[in-house]
Amino acid sequence: MSGGVLACLLRQAMPALRVLDLGLPAAPLLGWWPGAFCGVADPARLAPAEAALLGRFQQGASHGRAPGGAQGGAPGGAQGVPIFGLDPAADAALLATLECEPALLLALDGAPPLALARLLEAGALLLRHGRTEGLPPPPGPERGRIMLLVGTLARIERWDLLLPPEAVEPVFARLHDAAHGLAAQLGGGRAWQVGGRLVTAGLASLGMLAIGAERAPPLRLPGAALWHDLPAAPMGMEAGEGLPLGAVRQVRLLLGGMPARQAWLRLRLRGLSPARMPALFLDGLRLQAQWRTDDEGSVVIEAPARMQAGQASLVGLALPAEAPAGAVLLSLEFAA
């Protein structure tokens, strides 16, 4: 899973993009693009239990734009925005919001849902996993293509970015610069093979491949950017970049696809007494976690963890019954 590298390249090249990652149940970009919406391209393929589980999650409350264009607060009000594709009424509200976005990227594997035809006709960019040759062109204006190759020399993933033909050359140049900058941050030329070329005015290719083991940028998500299964936050509760837990004792967090390798999973919380340590879970299994307090008095809970390939990771946090109400989840980190 090379979603981290891909997301970092696209975010650096096109920082104004709004993203709807339709890759669930894997959602490869979601965890690496704070503020991205997520959804299911074909809900009929989900098992009922899986659909019910995903239906519990909503987007965090400190970013995004509420339906109707209001700035600030949770998109869609106190309940936040649910996962796209599971509720027609919520889908319609989100689509109405996204129609106002001048720079929108739809990421998916396969054909886009019919519900997104209006966005594509309006010129939304499309990021499609795998080869697009021979597939019907998406509705809307003519599009050029940048082939993006990420992963390792032994296992290459291809994504095709479909965008206006006149944007291919400048976006390719920015992606090329971003790839060299990211490679320098993650080990330099000995760890990465980076290259690409502009084939025609409307066609380019770019590769960023790890030499040896797959690498991923470190990840730090503010609590308010996380997808969670909490009930609606009480009115008037403010936490800045954090996610208020209120009186809830348990919360699950949907991260999207993570690289399948050993790393440290780290959560930072404010307003929590370190008298008893909370329990930390990954995909339903309890982790051997440890805790400490940092210089600012926040409680840091961390554990070594190995994510599963090809599926969105679920992180669970269980607070002790006697923990005071009002704790705030400040951030989640994932780093080697």
Confidence of residue 213 (pLDDT cuts 50, 70, 90): confident
Model pLDDT, residue 233: 55
76 pLDDT above the threshold of 50: no
Mean pLDDT, the chain, rounded, equals 85
Q: Which residues of 187-202 are buried (b: 16+ CB within 10 A; e: fewer)?
A: eeeeebebebebeeeb
Output the pTM of the full model.
0.87
Per-residue pLDDT reduced to its tens digit, 131-183:
777 778 888 899 999 999 998 988 899 999 999 999 999 999 999 999 999 99
Confidence of residue 78 (pLDDT cuts 50, 70, 90): very low
Model pLDDT, residue 205: 97
More confident residue, 28 or 324: 28
More confident residue, 60 or 162: 162
197 pLDDT above the threshold of 90: yes
Per-residue pLDDT reduced to its tens digit, 8-21:
999 999 999 999 99
Nearest-angstrom CA–CA distance, 62 and 285: 29
Confidence of residue 71 (pLDDT cuts 50, 70, 90): very low
Per-residue pLDDT reduced to its tens digit, 273-331:
767 788 999 999 999 999 888 888 899 999 998 887 778 889 999 988 877 788 899 99
For the stretch 6-11, contacts whose Cβ atoms lie closer than 8 Å and that sit 24 or more positions apart, written own/partner, are: 6/32, 6/148, 6/150, 6/159, 7/32, 7/33, 8/32, 8/178, 8/182, 8/217, 9/148, 9/150, 9/175, 9/178, 9/179, 9/182, 9/208, 10/105, 10/127, 10/161, 10/175
